[in-house]
Structure 1
Amino acid sequence: MSVEMLIAARRMATAAAWSLVAAWALALPGTAHAGRACEDAPLTAQQVRDAMALAQSTAEALDRSGAQVVLLARAGQNLEDYGLRWSHVGFVYRETDAKGASVWRVLHKLNECGTAQADLYRQGLAEFFMDRPFRMEGAFSVLKPALQEALLPVLKDNTRAATLHTPAYSMLAYPWALQYQQSNQWALETLASAAAPGEVFNRAQAQQWLKAAGYQPSDLRISAAKRLGARIGMAHVAFDDHPSARRYTGHIDTTTADTIFQWLSRSGWGAAPTVVDLPR
């Protein structure tokens, strides 16, 4: 299967286009998620309205930012027990549509339901927020101008965007291993390749660069019972890429949206996140 086939182009530029997508979303269940269990129930009309409203608020905030590329997060799951606010990030970039209008596209990695595989998807903002988020909020970090300039052509090119993509997926992939790759990890490693184009050409080099640049993943405390239950019941969760000494003591290190935002702000590669919620 070609990279072009792997990257789904679903574009929404106007309110009319959003209404068409709303009809599609109401009729069909989703087939790809950011590490969540598959849900067969179609979206409700209210869920679609909320997603569209949040997408509109986000688009307006992005327009005001003056950015060309940002890293956008959503609260797809309730991760409060782990001290995390956000669950999933993707790149959002500005482009011009066929009619000459300026629109925002999302490029991110999603897990195929019920499998240990993932692909890259190109979507509109409304679709990004239609994945049944736990909380209807978003947050974005405006990246350093030079980094935006380096990333923009990568995100628009299917082949270049997939250079550091590994289809084998684990929601809790170890940040310093190559066996699996989760959604946030793909985004961060791709960002590293754009930040250091003369140094980073593969995933191993991206990880070494991130270590040197001070990125620190989340240390999730997950008991042996929870790890066993997840491994038996979920195809998209694995722990065999984690160091045994850490794993056996309940320390699971993984790439999270919160730690990416923290590192961007700390390192200067991006601004502190701007939070966007539903219009009141």
Structure 2
Amino acid sequence: MSDRWTTPWRFALCALAWAAALAAGTAHAGRSCEARRPTPQGIERGMALAERTARALEAEHRRSGARVVLLARAGQDLSKYGVHYSHLGWAYRTPEGPWRVAHKLNECGTAVGSLYLQGLGEFFMDDLWRYEAVWLVPAPEVQARLADVLADRSRTVALHQRAYSMVSYAWGTRYQQSNQWALETLALAMEPATVRTRSQAQAWLRFKGYEPAVLRIGPLTRLGGRVTAANVAFDDHPDRDRFADRIATVTVDSVLAWMPRAGLGAAPATLALDAGR
């Protein structure tokens, strides 16, 4: 069962990553995403991945007491951009036992996003490119602070911005993509007395040494994505970077690399159903 924290249910969801939207001009002219019925095989594999991930997280909970983890999936093939995983959320263990995931999703065909609270089955039901999960266990203090935020709806949505771009500028506030919300919410959790705005959250992330991924996206790709996809925009990136084909945005991979380096979490762990594609 999904819970939506920001607005009532209105739209079908898609958690597309950059590659799908940037290719929309050739695949689906004038459309940023396409509703597709889940296949029986996709449902079966998504549920199998969710079940195995749940068992692994329970084992981690018994071993270390972990109750909040960064959890990510590989929804699209982003290898041309040097990116392995596409989408992350904060997964936490409920008092009753099941794990739930707080994350942001883009609404198909629109330039807005909303926050959702879902079970692991729903999180891995999105027609994945690879049936693989990755998680990172934050340091105990980080977990405690995140748990406090995730238990308080007003704090969970405090830095959420509905204006959405899949490639939003990591140090900008005009748009906000899914991974950016999760990272900025971490900053809010760690510095509740001083982080009240997105700009303050980003200042904390800079101070802690976070480095966004820099994607090489040329002008033709940018033009195609901007014209045909409602959820892709580049006008928040500095001109000097945009014209040099340097698009700095928050990726799962960059967060997984940064948190251990900053002393905020352990090394990532992965689980795959098979060798993938």
Match of 1:159 in 2: 154
Structure 2 segments unaligned to the other structure (5+ residues): 21-31
The residue number in structure 2 matching 1:225 is: 220
Give me the whole-angstrom Cα distance separating, in 2, the residues matched to 1:58 and 1:154.
Answer: 23
How far apart are the structure 2 equivalents of 1:7 and 1:190? Answer: 22
Q: TM-score, normalised by structure 1?
A: 0.87
DSSP-derived class of the 1:137 partner? strand
Spell out, residue by residue over 1:227-269, the C-alpha distance to the aligned partner (whole angstroms, 9 max, x if none): 0000001000000100001100101100000000000111110
Identity fraction in percent: 48
- Name the structure 1 match of 2:28: none
1:178 aligns with 2:173: yes
Q: Tell me which residue corresponds to 1:192.
A: 187
CA-based RMSD of the aligned residues comes to: 1.8
Matches of 1:34 and 1:81, distance apart in 2: 16
Partner Cα distance (1:5, 1:236) in 2: 18
Distance 2:140 2:43 in 1: 33
1:157 deviates by 2.4
- Name the CA distance, whole Å, in 2 between partners of 1:276 and 1:198: 37
Deviations 1:143-163, CA, capped at 9 Å, x for gaps: 110111111121122221100
1:79 maps to amino acid: L
Q: Distance in 2 between matches of 1:259 and 1:275?
A: 16
Q: Does 1:127 align with 2:157?
A: no
1:78 aligned partner, one-letter code? D
SS at match of 1:90: strand
Contact preservation (8 Å) 2:5, 2:117:
no
Aligned residues: 254
Q: Distance between the aligned counterparts of 2:69 and 2:190, measured in 1?
A: 14
Residue of structure 2 aligned with 1:246, choices 241, 249, 263: 241
Contact 1:30–1:131, Cα closer than 8 Å, also in 2: no
Deviation at 1:7, TM superposition (A): 7.7
Unaligned ranges ≥5, structure 1: 9-28
Q: Is the 8 A contact 1:7 1:122 kept in 2?
A: no
The CA distance in 1 between the partners of 2:159 and 2:178, in whole Å, is 12
- Which amino acid letter does the alignment assign opposite residue 115 of structure 1? T
Could you tell me how far apart the structure 2 residues matched to 1:34 and 1:44 are? 17
Q: TM-score, length-normalised on structure 2?
A: 0.88
Which one-letter code corresponds to 1:130 in the other structure?
Answer: M
Query: How far is the alpha carbon of 1:5 from its aligned partner?
Result: 5.2
Whether 2:4 is the aligned partner of 1:33: answer no
Of 200, 203, 219, the match for 1:208 = 203
Q: Distance in 2 between matches of 1:30 and 1:232?
A: 22
Match of residue 24 from structure 1: none
Q: Secondary structure at the match of 2:128?
A: coil
State the match for 1:146 in structure 2.
141
Alpha carbons 2:6, 2:114 under 8 Å: kept = no
Retained in 1: the 8 A contact 2:13–2:105? Answer: no
Question: How far apart are residue 65 of structure 1 and its match?
Answer: 1.2
Shift of 1:133: 1.1
TM-aligned CA distance change 1:4 to 1:86, over 3 Å = closer
Match of 1:271? 266
What CA distance in whole angstroms lies between the structure 2 residues aligned with 1:209 and 1:266? 15
Partner residue, 2:26: none
